[in-house]
Amino acid sequence: MFMTHFRNEVERVRQVTCTATESMSRRRLLASIAVLLVTVLGPRAYGRAYSGGVLPWEPSETQPPMPVRPGQWLYFTADEAAVVEAIVDRLIPLDDSGPGGKDAGCALFIDRQLAGSFGDSRRLYMSAPFTNGTPSQGPQSPVVPKDRYRTSLTALNDYCKVAFGGKSFATLGTSQQDEVLSGLEKDEIKLSDRSGKEFFETILQNAMEGFFADPIYGGNRDMAGWKLIGFPGARYDYRDWIERYNETYPLPPVSIMGRADWNTPG
Amino acid sequence: MVKRLPAKDAVIIGLGWTGSILGYELAKAGLEVVALERGPWRDTATAFPTSYAQDELRYDFHHDLFVQTKQTTLTFRNKAGQTALPIRSWASFLPGNGVGGAGVHWGGQTWRFLPTDFRLRSHLEERYGKNFLPQDMTIQDWPVSFDELESYYDRFEKLCGISGKAGNLRGQIQRGSIPLKVGDRMNIRHLR
């Protein structure tokens, strides 16, 4: 009874895995089975249930990679997501060399980061005392990134509505968007009482992370960032290439979860 | 509630490089050893697989291999007159966590201290005079000398497989090497 149920579940997971367009791999399958075992075996299982695509973090564990699942926003509201997509698409615009920040999934990346351990600083020391220190003492704010994003995005739209006749950032023309982003970068635009420059630097940093981090995090879609700079990605072994100077590495990039064409049933 | 475990001859706290080497030596000498480690068990196949050890976001940006400051952190200041504040996000140094300790992100170089580093107070006073060091400067000589440690340096370098050609052997600049002279410090430009 149990084994039949288990086999059916594995078969279901396998079918889902094989039909997914994004690279789903044996590792994801195994992770799914681990969740299944927990579900099937009940409270005495040796595994642990989790949800939301983010593993519960324990300081004494080594965890496998956990690819984000594309789909609806986990943290952003639709309005916030529209602003973030517009910003990342101006930071990394679509041109002849490849897709822009939006199509490369940078907003999805930032959404998943904010929904995870980066967003609430859960791995960081976040207790008192909160005192402004010197630059070399590093960040000392009690405000976690996901809250900073939310208040900054709200304040950005408030600014745009006043400055551009009721329009939100996402509905501005690209030259007006660039004007606003330059104003933030130069710290000429404040976001309520906060520095616009600080927010600009944060979202630029996160957009670059999204564009160049492994696609398992939701950005760098189809390894667009890596193709752009000729980075081979998570290749297993380069020993054959170590002493071959001034030659172009010919193999296409590969993600931690492989490549789409490796995972498509032939 | 408190569980009393069998007594051992030696307890090692922290299973980084030092703890591992010491544990091995003590066990080889016939002692029973127990090691305590606050972080995860690590082995090459599961903690550093070549299929995802390249994850720059996870390891380089989010410091996944290191102590998370939520677990434990330090306070920091540059000058005595400043107020020390907690380090919330590592920057200038990355404390290790788990079996292997900070050795898991070892840069692959070991540098010997210079003979004068072991007798720094004496060296500076001999060279620049008794009054050269300010009263409140706490520099001391080490209780061991370079010569006493040299054979251990040698053994350690062989243990970790240090290779390459020294630039300067007993004052002779070696051909085809980076000729660091006595007194040169490691300079990152030499490595680029």
- Is pLDDT above 80 for B171? no
On whether residue A42 sits in a domain, the answer given is: no
Of B38, B57, B78, the CB nearest to A214: B57
Q: What is the mean pLDDT of residues B5-19?
A: 93
User: Quick check: B190 contacting A, CB < 8 Å?
Assistant: no
Task: State the Cα–Cα distance between residues A103 and A22, nearest whole angstrom.
Answer: 15
pLDDT at B186: 41
Contact at CB, B88 and A140, closer than 8 angstroms: yes
Of A64, A140, A236, the CB nearest to B85: A140
On whether residue A95 sits in a domain, the answer given is: yes
Q: What is the mean pLDDT of residues B25-52?
A: 89
pLDDT at A185: 97
Nearest to B115 by CA among B92, B153, B145: B145
> What domain range includes position A177?
78-224
Q: What is the mean pLDDT of residues A180-198?
A: 93
Angle at alpha carbon of residue B148, lines to B146 and B154, rounded to 5°:
80
DSSP state of B80: T
Query: CA separation (Å) from B22 to B7, B34, B40?
Result: 18, 11, 19
Give the residue carrying structure tokens 């600049």. Answer: B173
User: Quick check: B163 contacting A, CB < 8 Å?
Assistant: no
State the helix-helix crossing angle for A106-115 and A145-163, rounded to 10 degrees.
Answer: 130
More confident residue, B14 or A2: B14
pLDDT band at A56; cut points 50, 70, 90: low
Task: State the Cα–Cα distance between residues A214 and A4, nearest whole angstrom.
Answer: 37
CB contacts < 8 A, A to B, total 91
Task: State the Cα–Cα distance between residues A149 and A76, nearest whole angstrom.
Answer: 9
Domain identity same for B149 and B184: yes
Domain identity same for B168 and B187: yes
Contact at CB, A124 and B91, closer than 8 angstroms: no
- Is pLDDT above 70 for A42? no
On whether residue B32 sits in a domain, the answer given is: no
Contact at CB, A131 and B73, closer than 8 angstroms: no
Contact at CB, B77 and A137, closer than 8 angstroms: yes
pLDDT-above-90 percentage for chain A: 62
User: Quick check: B54 contacting A, CB < 8 Å?
Assistant: yes
On whether residue A194 sits in a domain, the answer given is: yes
Q: What is the mean pLDDT of residues B178-187?
A: 46
Predicted TM-score (pTM) of this structure: 0.77
DSSP state of A215: G
Of B58, B82, B88, the CB nearest to A124: B88
On whether residue B124 sits in a domain, the answer given is: yes
On whether residue B21 sits in a domain, the answer given is: no
The pLDDT tens digits of the residues spanning A232-259 come to 999 888 888 888 999 988 889 999 988 8
On whether residue A200 sits in a domain, the answer given is: yes
- Is pLDDT above 50 for A29? no
Contact A16, A28 (CB under 8 A): no
Contact A68, A105 (CB under 8 A): no
pLDDT at A57: 58
On whether residue B2 sits in a domain, the answer given is: no
Of B46, B85, B89, the CB nearest to A62: B46
Last residue within a domain, chosen from B68, B85, B105: B105
Task: State the Cα–Cα distance between residues A262 and B118, nearest whole angstrom.
Answer: 57
- Is pLDDT above 60 for B40? yes
- Of A3-12, A160-169, A213-222, B30-39, the poorest mean pLDDT is in A3-12
Contact at CB, A138 and B91, closer than 8 angstroms: yes
Task: State the Cα–Cα distance between residues A160 and A137, nearest whole angstrom.
Answer: 34
- Is pLDDT above 80 for A23? no
Contact B152, B22 (CB under 8 A): no
Contact at CB, B71 and A136, closer than 8 angstroms: no
Domain identity same for B74 and B120: no
- How many domains are contained in chain A? 1
B173 sits in which H/E element: strand B172-173
Å between B106 CA and nearest CA of chain A: 19
On whether residue A34 sits in a domain, the answer given is: no
pLDDT at B109: 79
On whether residue B14 sits in a domain, the answer given is: no
Contact B147, B114 (CB under 8 A): no
**Test the B interface: residue of A60, A68, A126, A127 with most B CBs within 10 Å:** A60
On whether residue A152 sits in a domain, the answer given is: yes
Amino acid at B26: L
Task: State the Cα–Cα distance between residues A70 and A68, nearest whole angstrom.
Answer: 6
- Is pLDDT above 70 for B68? yes
**Test the B interface: residue of A26, A58, A62 with most B CBs within 10 Å:** A62
- Is pLDDT above 60 for B70? yes
Neighbours of B66 (CB within 10 A): 20
Contacts of A130 in chain B (CB under 8 A): none
A159 sits in which H/E element: helix A145-163
User: Quick check: B50 contacting A, CB < 8 Å?
Assistant: yes
pLDDT at A92: 97
> What domain range includes position B170?
115-191
Beta strands in chain A (DSSP E): 190-191, 194-195
Contacts of A139 in chain B (CB under 8 A): 88-89
Contacts of A254 in chain B (CB under 8 A): none
For residue A189, what are its two tokens? 């635009």
**Test the B interface: residue of A58, A123, A130, A255 with most B CBs within 10 Å:** A123
- How many domains are contained in chain B? 2
Å between B107 CA and nearest CA of chain A: 18
Contact at CB, A62 and B97, closer than 8 angstroms: no
Last residue within a domain, chosen from B105, B125, B160: B105
Task: State the Cα–Cα distance between residues A158 and A189, nearest whole angstrom.
Answer: 12
User: Quick check: A62 contacting B, CB < 8 Å?
Assistant: yes
- Is pLDDT above 80 for B63? yes
Task: State the Cα–Cα distance between residues B133 and B139, nearest whole angstrom.
Answer: 9
User: Quick check: A135 contacting B, CB < 8 Å?
Assistant: no
* Residue B135 backbone dihedrals phi, psi, to 5 degrees: -50, -40
Task: State the Cα–Cα distance between residues A125 and A115, nearest whole angstrom.
Answer: 18
On whether residue A259 sits in a domain, the answer given is: no
pLDDT band at A61; cut points 50, 70, 90: low
Q: Which residue of B has its CA nearest to A238?
A: B50
pLDDT band at A173; cut points 50, 70, 90: very high
- Is pLDDT above 60 for A218? yes
Task: State the Cα–Cα distance between residues A237 and B125, nearest whole angstrom.
Answer: 53
pLDDT-above-70 percentage for chain A: 76
On whether residue A199 sits in a domain, the answer given is: yes
Q: What is the mean pLDDT of residues B38-64?
A: 87
pLDDT at B107: 79
On whether residue B54 sits in a domain, the answer given is: yes
- Is pLDDT above 60 for A167? yes
Task: State the Cα–Cα distance between residues A72 and A149, nearest whole angstrom.
Answer: 18
Contacts of B68 in chain A (CB under 8 A): 59, 123-124
For residue A266, what are its two tokens? 């032939």
Neighbours of B60 (CB within 10 A): 13
Contact at CB, A122 and B52, closer than 8 angstroms: no
pLDDT band at B16; cut points 50, 70, 90: very high
Domain identity same for B128 and B98: no
pLDDT at A170: 97
- Is pLDDT above 50 for A35? no
